[in-house]
């Protein structure tokens, strides 16, 4: 254990506390934020918000992008855009951050948790197909769960820790069942599935720019889509559904104050300029970790062979729960921040009543996976 702690300390060249993921501000951050302050446009109108959206389109290859206050609000709106409504069911994975399941609940939807694959840590297309084949019937308005009578109005796969799941297989299956896919790509900015950026396979995708992500603006999010009318509507409801007018305040539906402030967007633009370098750096770090852990017989999670991952959070898989707990105890005690993966969503009190399959791989992973320090290195 001591050799692991020393190895990580050596990478970060410090005897002090090592966080799991700290941001790096090495570019135009101060300049752009100062500029936003001087312009007085610090709130939801301003040039940096527009530039941010253009940069997201450029990076992801998506036609449209809508800036939001965080990834959770982006997910909430993306789910509303595909029509998730009260009483609907939404398929997702139990291995995810709570925001995925929360956003489904904000729409009045009920998450259905299906298993992940061990090779991707993302939603298993076979588990998805099995569930749909066994439990659904098609009606005029789409796919219905024949046991509960509820409509299945979306599927939300997630690219865990930046590693692309088998998104094309998932989208294929969902297309056959007329279920729109919303990609939770909160963690996977800069990650590609077979040369195509994650987040662009579903009807809509979302990204997070929280302080712990590869690129941050304090708090921020983005929706991406190729559908012009969905993009227009998403922009409208994230900006309080106000009808443009020189002076009157008229709103034509219940909207949200979800637009990213220009101040945060200024920070985001400066960070996005450095994305390629951050990812090269993170991939180099992952390679160092892979060599080190493999030489010690510890399984280091590598990108699936079809993918180019941003390696947002590096993950090791330990033999069992006892060794996982020992690893967490010793590293955290030594000031090296490590974390288990999230408690499975189906175990949280507010989602414990939700439908789920056996979740064998999810349970397996929960007992063994640990995230280790992954900040861009000095
Ligand atoms: C998988 C996943 N979904 C959604 C979110 C929500 O993003 P935010 O924290 O920006 O609201 C996050 C991260 O924070 C996440 O990791």
* pLDDT reading at 378 higher than 90: no
- Cβ(71) – ligand 1 distance below 6 Å: yes
Atom of ligand 1 nearest to the CA of 75: 4
Q: How does pLDDT run across 203-218, given as a tens digit for each residue? A: 999 999 999 999 999 9
Q: Which band of pLDDT confidence, cut at 50, 70 and 90, is reported for residue 259?
A: very high
Q: What average pLDDT does range 99-123 have in this prediction?
A: 98
Ligand 1 atom nearest the C-alpha of 73 is 11
pLDDT digits (tens, 9 = 90+) for 128-179: 999 999 999 999 999 999 999 999 999 999 999 999 999 999 999 999 999 9
Contact 151, 291 (CB under 8 A): no
**DSSP states of 109-130:** -EEEE-PBPTTTSSB-HHHHHH
- Mean pLDDT score, 59-76: 98
- Judged on CB neighbours under 10 Å (0-12, 13-18, 19+), 83 is middle
CB of 331 within 6 A of ligand 1: the answer is: no
Residue 115, ligand 1, Cβ within 6 A: no
DSSP assignment, residue 345? Answer: G
Would you state the pLDDT for residue 44? Answer: 86
Contact 217, 192 (CB under 8 A): no
Percent over 70 (pLDDT), the chain:
100
Q: Are 298 and 316 in contact (CB under 8 A)?
A: yes
In the prediction, which pLDDT does 377 show? 83
Binding site membership of 315 for ligand 1 (Cβ less than 6 Å): no
Q: Flag whether pLDDT at 304 surpasses 90.
A: no
CA of 160 to the centre of ligand 1 (A): 11
Contact of 135 with 164, CB cutoff 8 Å: no
The count of residues in the chain is 378
Q: What residues pair up with 317 in beta bridges, in sequence order?
A: 299, 369
- At 344-360, the pLDDT tens digits run 999 999 999 999 999 99
23, 72, 198, 218: which to mutate for ligand 1, most atoms within 8 A of CB? 72
């Amino acid at each position: 254990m001591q050799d692991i702690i020393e190895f990580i300390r050596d990478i970060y060249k410090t005897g002090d506390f090592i966080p799991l993921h700290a941001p790096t501000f090495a570019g135009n951050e101060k300049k752009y934020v100062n500029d936003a302050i001087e312009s007085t446009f610090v709130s939801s109108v301003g040039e940096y918000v527009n530039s941010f959206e253009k940069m997201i389109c450029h990076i992801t290859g998506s036609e449209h992008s809508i800036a939001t206050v965080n990834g959770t609000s982006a997910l909430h709106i993306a789910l509303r855009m595909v029509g998730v409504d009260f009483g609907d069911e939404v398929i997702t994975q139990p291995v995810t951050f709570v925001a995925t399941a929360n956003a489904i609940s904000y729409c009045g939807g009920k998450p259905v948790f299906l298993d992940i694959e061990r090779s991707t840590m993302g939603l298993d297309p076979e588990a998805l197909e099995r569930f749909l084949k066994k439990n659904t019937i098609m009606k005029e308005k789409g796919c219905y769960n024949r046991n509960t009578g509820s409509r299945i109005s979306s599927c939300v796969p997630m690219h865990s820790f930046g590693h692309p799941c088998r998104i094309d297989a998932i989208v294929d299956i969902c297309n056959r069942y007329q279920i729109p896919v919303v990609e939770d790509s909160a963690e996977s900015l800069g990650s590609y599935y077979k040369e195509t950026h994650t987040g662009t396979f579903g009807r809509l995708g979302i990204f997070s720019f929280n302080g712990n992500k590869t690129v941050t603006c304090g708090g921020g999010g983005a929706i991406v889509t190729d559908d012009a009318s969905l993009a227009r509507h998403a922009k409208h409801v994230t900006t309080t559904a106000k009808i443009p007018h020189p002076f009157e305040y008229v709103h034509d539906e219940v909207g949200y104050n979800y637009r990213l402030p220009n101040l945060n967007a200024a920070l985001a633009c400066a960070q996005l300029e450095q994305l390629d370098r951050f990812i090269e750096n993170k991939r180099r770090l992952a390679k160092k970790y892979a060599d080190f852990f493999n030489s010690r017989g510890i399984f280091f999670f590598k990108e699936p062979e079809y993918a180019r991952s941003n390696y947002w959070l590096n993950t090791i898989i330990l033999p069992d729960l006892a060794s996982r707990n020992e690893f967490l105890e010793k590293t955290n005690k030594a000031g090296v921040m490590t974390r288990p993966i999230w408690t499975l969503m189906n175990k949280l009190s507010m989602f414990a009543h939700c439908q789920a399959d056996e979740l064998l791989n999810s349970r397996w992973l929960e007992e063994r996976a640990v995230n280790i320090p992954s900040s861009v290195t000095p």
